Amino acid sequence: MTPAEIRDEILDILSEIAPDEDLTDLDDAKSFREQMELDSMDFLDIVMELRKRHRVQIPEDEYGNLASMSSTVQYLEPKMRDIVAA
């Protein structure tokens, strides 16, 4: 997957987890928690959804890499490079 495809996938996951959030003005550099009403369970749902959809394993000590859109895409790019977007 390309960085753009990974970003789209994260947006799709966020829209399912937080359907009332407006994601159109999401700032990729700011943390998700600064911009959205996400709690720790929502964050865990993101991790679980990535595992379910793409079999991407994210160790708990690396969750901090998923703080913002830009850090999430950067972290996931090597893990998802060989995954074909659906």
3-state secondary structure of 6: helix
13 vs 39 pLDDT, higher one: 13
Q: What share of the chain is helix, strand, coil (3-state, %, to 5)?
A: 60, 0, 35
Q: State the CATH class of domain 3-19+28-80.
A: mainly alpha
The average pLDDT across 3-30 equals 94
Global confidence as pTM: 0.88
Quote the CA–CA distance of 65 and 16 in Å, as a whole number: 21
Domain ranges for the chain = 3-19+28-80
- pLDDT band for 66, please (50, 70, 90 cuts): very high
